[in-house]
A and B are shown apart, each in its own frame.
Chain A
Amino acid sequence: MLHSSESNVRVEELLARVAGGDQDAFTGIYDALSGAVMGLVHRILRDAAQAEEVTQDVMIEVWRTAGRYDPERGTAKAWILTLAHRRAVDRVRTARASAEREQRTGILAPERAFDEVAEKVQDHDEQRRLRRCLAKLERHRRVPLMLAFYQGLTYIEVAAALSVPEGTVKSRMRAGLRELHACLEGQA
């Protein structure tokens, strides 16, 4: 459950209409969620122009594939943000691959701010809650989550970066997410 259930119901209805080809409904979804999509994508890519492109790709994907959304499997907002995370991670991997080819790895190196829980931005409730829950995780669980979520590293890359066995990284990611889930539900 996301924290603002009223606007979620609206997004759910709009997404069903988008699946039927309703452009006005798409405009409604765009206006409700493009800021959140752009925020997430920008946080991962740290580049406004690229973030804008990826945001557009995400929203067009929402339009194209709205019919695939299954309400049984989660909220519409979660579905859209999952698409956004996926696209941003794909983009950051492509960028990193080409940066490595060009021998300038500084910008996207995983060491950069990899454990930064604090955001230098204004808070809202959900952000505070999330941050509190992330901060509660033990560091060895939190760091793999952060590296994957914000830097787009695969578990294999995380394992290499932290010199931890790959299987251990996988189980820490799972345990960390479960703990985060429990913490968020407990405080909702």
Chain B
Amino acid sequence: MTTSKEDPHLAVGAYVLHALPPADEAAFENHLAGCEQCRREAGALLETAARWGGSTQTVAVTSQARARTLLAVAGTRQNGTPQRPRARGRRTVRPALAASVAAAVAFGGVAAWQHHESDDARARAARAEQRADTESSAIAGVLTAPDATVHTGELTDGTTAAVLVSRSQARAVFAARRLPALTGDRVYELWYAARSGNLRPAGLVPNASRSDFRVLKGSPVGSVAVGITIEPAGGSEQPTTQPLGVIPLTV
């Protein structure tokens, strides 16, 4: 154990290396608080340790990890700082817009599945195979676009969902953490909403999908929100159910 006759400064190296057990660390921080010279030394050595840390070979994070973190941050409150209005406007659903889009979704009409009837199984399989590759490179493309913006909203079940938009790439990615699995032959379907209230199908999120990310079908240009509904397998031309959530794309 440490002895009391020992110079407390001695612990500064271990402190900087995070090598003090909790009790010793608390004691040393107490000591630091009352010792200007020690704080200077700790500061200089921390900088050295950080420089050591920064000289480690960098390892690239995956685009999925990046998106997961950006999504998590969008839903994480900061300590001690009030949220600025601009930030808040972006991450909550604006009631008026939500209501108008919800109304449009509700009156959207009856399902029309013709667009899938012409599909033959082979074409579908080929598309699925291609999707894995093109999907992840499209996600990476949106995420690395200099103009990419993150827009978040809450679904009716409390799940946080986000839409990442790059207008320069005319692409958007939908991200949700653990969408509840659907029973029966149902899928999640995404929609682009125009200011007029018109809704455009933006692709399906298959029930079996373990992926948190989905590139939306078509361009977000001209859309003011993205909605999500539950639809029969194969999707619908217009929504047949109440939306689970609407994420405004405007700031």
Contacts and interface: CB of A to CB of B under 8 A. Distances in A.
Nearest to A123: B57
Contacts of A2: 50-51, 54
Q: Which of A60, A170, A171 has the most CB of B within 10 A?
A: A170
Interface in B62-102: 62, 65-66, 68-70, 72-74, 76-81, 83-84, 86-87, 90
A3 to B, nearest CB: 8
B73 A60 contact: yes
Given A82-B46, A170-B11, A24 B149 contact: yes
Interface in B1-22: 1-3, 6, 9-14, 16-21
A22 B87 contact: yes
Interface residues of B, number: 58
A56 B71 CA distance: 11
Contacts of A130: 51-52, 55
B64 to A, nearest CB: 9
Interface string A137-153: 00000000100110011
B59 interface: yes
Contacts of A66: 78, 81
A38 B60 contact: yes
Given A78-B47, A173-B14, A52 B65 contact: yes
A181 B44 CA distance: 8
Contact of A39 (B14, B17, B46, B59): B59
A28 to B, nearest CB: 10
A174 interface: yes
B49 interface: yes
19 contacts: A21-B83, A21-B84, A30-B66, A36-B54, A55-B69, A56-B68, A60-B72, A63-B73, A64-B76, A74-B47, A81-B53, A84-B53, A89-B18, A119-B56, A124-B55, A126-B55, A172-B13, A174-B12, A177-B49
Interface of B: 1-3, 6, 9-14, 16-21, 43-62, 65-66, 68-70, 72-74, 76-81, 83-84, 86-87, 90, 148-150
